[in-house]
């Protein structure tokens, strides 16, 4: 039995079995990445798709994803590689790519406008060892490294990665413990601590997906944006906030897409406290 120390769950994992996230396993009394180098998704994306609005705008980045996630968002847009039954199948079918090979691919796509590698699509922190090994090589090759994450990890993990990260987009999915606990199966305090630490070392932007009747009140957005306003990126600038529109998907098809007017109104509320607020999926 091994205890995983990546996130708040601290799973006790029997030898050879999987933790809650599906991306970590145990070898004796040590936990390791089960999804190391197992690539489920690879694409050259616009940097704005991460989304990052104030980090090399107009560029592209090689985006890579594996499988597994330590949250259970019922609206997940990448459920096929995050926590559905299909996601578990990638343990057998996903193509193995070494850190060296991935960096070689990234360098080869520079003529197409690529600036580096983004770890995204599933939750990269559940396989942080691959992120770390690849980022070290990417940095040495002059590439930018980006992580798109839910921020649900212990600060010790972040501190290992921080010297090799140039930018992150971190989900701040809402600003109530009820929403994080009951809907997402997460831990808001851990995410907030992660964000506060991340801004010390790299460029950070945040994303909040607006779910009808869950996190769509002006009061919650006002409180969330007020907290974000106290944060500063390493260059001293304010942390950008992306406010995105929800569409019915996966296990949350019981409600309509977020009204566009709601997204725009919440963006105006956020601008009471923040200079950089962007709307998405509208």
Q: Specify if 106 maps to a domain.
A: yes
Q: What is the pLDDT of residue 114?
A: 98
**282 residues of the chain, pLDDT tens digit each:** 999 999 999 999 999 999 999 999 999 999 999 999 999 999 999 999 999 999 999 999 999 999 999 999 999 999 988 987 777 777 778 889 999 999 999 999 999 999 999 999 999 999 999 999 999 999 999 999 999 999 999 999 999 999 999 999 999 999 999 999 999 999 999 999 999 999 999 999 999 999 999 999 999 999 999 999 999 999 999 999 999 999 999 999 999 999 999 999 999 999 999 999 999 999
What secondary structure does DSSP assign to the chain, as a single string?
-EE--SSTT--EE-TT-B-TTSSEEEETTEEEETTTTEESEEEEEEGGGTT-SSSSTT-EEEEEE-S--S---TT-TTTTTTTSHHHHHHHHHSEE--HHHHHHHHHHTGGGTEEEEEE-SS-GGGGHHHHHHHHHHHHHTT-EEEEEE---S-HHHHHHHGGG-SEEEEE---S-HHIIIIII---HHHHHHHHHHHTTTSEEEEEEEE-TTTS--HHHHHHHHHHHHT-B-TTSPBPPEEEEE---BTTB-SSPPPPHHHHHHHHHHHTTT-S-EEEE--
Q: Specify if 274 maps to a domain.
A: yes
Q: Specify if 229 maps to a domain.
A: yes
Count of structural domains within the chain: 1
Q: Specify if 96 maps to a domain.
A: yes
Question: Do 41 and 63 contact (CB within 8 A), yes or no?
Answer: yes
Q: Specify if 214 maps to a domain.
A: yes
Cα–Cα dist 274/235, whole Å? 16
Q: Specify if 270 maps to a domain.
A: yes
Angle (CA) 58-62-64 rounded to 5° is 135
For residue 218, the enclosing domain spans 35-280
CATH number at residue 156: 3.20.20.70
Q: Specify if 8 maps to a domain.
A: no
């Amino acid at each position: 039995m091994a205890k995983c120390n990546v996130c708040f769950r601290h799973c006790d994992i029997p030898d050879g079995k999987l933790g809650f996230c599906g991306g970590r396993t145990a070898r004796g009394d040590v936990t390791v990445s089960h999804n190391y180098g197992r690539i489920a998704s690879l694409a050259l994306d616009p940097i704005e798709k991460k989304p990052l609005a104030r980090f090399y705008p107009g560029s592209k980045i090689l985006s890579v994803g594996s499988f597994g996630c330590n949250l259970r968002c019922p609206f997940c847009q990448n459920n096929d590689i995050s926590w559905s039954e299909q996601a578990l199948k990638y343990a057998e079918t996903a193509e193995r790519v070494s850190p060296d090979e991935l960096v070689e691919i990234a360098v080869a796509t520079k003529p197409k406008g690529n600036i580096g590698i983004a770890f995204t699509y599933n939750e990269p922190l559940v396989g942080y060892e691959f992120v770390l090994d690849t980022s070290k090589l990417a940095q040495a090759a002059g590439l930018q490294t980006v992580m798109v994450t839910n921020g649900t990890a212990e600060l010790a993990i972040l501190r290992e990665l921080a010297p090799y990260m140039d930018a992150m987009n971190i989900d701040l999915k809402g600003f109530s413990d009820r929403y994080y606990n009951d809907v997402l199966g997460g831990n808001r305090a851990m995410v907030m601590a992660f964000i506060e630490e991340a801004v010390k070392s790299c460029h950070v932007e945040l994303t909040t997906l607006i779910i009808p009747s869950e996190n769509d009140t002006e009061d919650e957005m006002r409180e969330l944006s007020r907290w974000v306003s106290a944060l500063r990126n390493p260059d001293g600038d304010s942390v950008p906030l992306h406010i995105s529109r929800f569409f019915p998907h996966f296990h949350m098809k019981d409600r309509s897409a977020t009204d566009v007017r709601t997204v725009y109104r919440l963006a105006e509320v956020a601008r009471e406290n923040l200079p950089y607020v962007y709307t998405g999926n509208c």
